[in-house]
Amino acid sequence: MRAAKNILVVEDHFPAINLVSDMLRESPHYAFNVSMATTLKEAIEVISHGDIDIILLDLNLPDSKGLDTLRWIREENGDVPVVVLTGEYSEEKGVEIIQHGAQEYILKTECDSSHLNRSVRYAIERKKAERGISENGDKVASMISHIPGMFYRSKGHNHDIMDFVSEGCSGITGYSADDIKGSRRVAFNSIIHPEDRDTVRKEIETAIRAKKAFQFFYRIICANGSEKWIWEQGNGIYDSRGKATALEGFVSDITQQKKAEDEMEESYKKLAETLEDTVNVLAATVDARDQYTAGHQKRVAQLSFAIAKKMDLDDNRVCGIYMTALIHDIGKIHVPINILINPRTLTELEMNMIRTHSTVGYDILKKINSPWPIAKIVLQHHERMDGSGYPNGIPGSKILLEAKILAIADVIEAMASNRPYRPALGIDAALAEVQKNKGLLYDKAVAGVCLELFQKKKFSF
Q: Does residue 193 share a domain with residue 105?
A: no
Cα–Cα nearest to 116, from 224, 174, 34, 189? 34
How far is Cα 55 from Cα 48, in angstroms, rounded to an integer? Answer: 13
Q: How many domains does the chain have?
A: 3
pLDDT for res 367: 80
Q: What is the pLDDT of residue 278?
A: 73
Last residue of a domain, one of 222, 255, 288: 255
CB 179 within 8 A of CB 186: yes
In the sheet with 162-165, reading across from the earlier edge strand, the strands are 162-165, 150-155, 244-253, 227-238, 214-221
| 124 domain-assigned | yes
- CATH code of residue 196: 3.30.450.20
pLDDT along the chain (461 residues), means of 10: 85 86 86 89 86 88 89 83 81 79 82 83 77 61 66 80 84 90 84 93 91 90 92 87 86 76 66 69 69 76 94 91 90 82 81 90 85 93 96 96 97 88 88 95 96 87 75
Amino acid symbol at 324:
T
- How many CA atoms are closer than 13 Å to the CA of 420, on its beta-carbon side? 15
- On whether both 111 and 21 belong to a single domain, the answer is yes
pLDDT for 351 equals: 87
Same-domain check for residues 157 and 188: yes
Q: Is residue 460 part of a domain?
A: no
pLDDT tens digits along 242-289: 888 889 888 988 887 756 566 656 766 666 676 666 777 777 776 666
Same domain membership, residue 168 and residue 282? no
pLDDT computed for residue 246 by the predictor? 86
Same domain, 103 and 181: no
Domain limits at 349?
Answer: 264-455
Q: Tell me which of 255, 289, 314 is where a domain ends.
A: 255
- Residue 271's pLDDT is 65
Residue 461 within any structural domain of the chain? no
Domain boundary among 218, 234, 255: 255
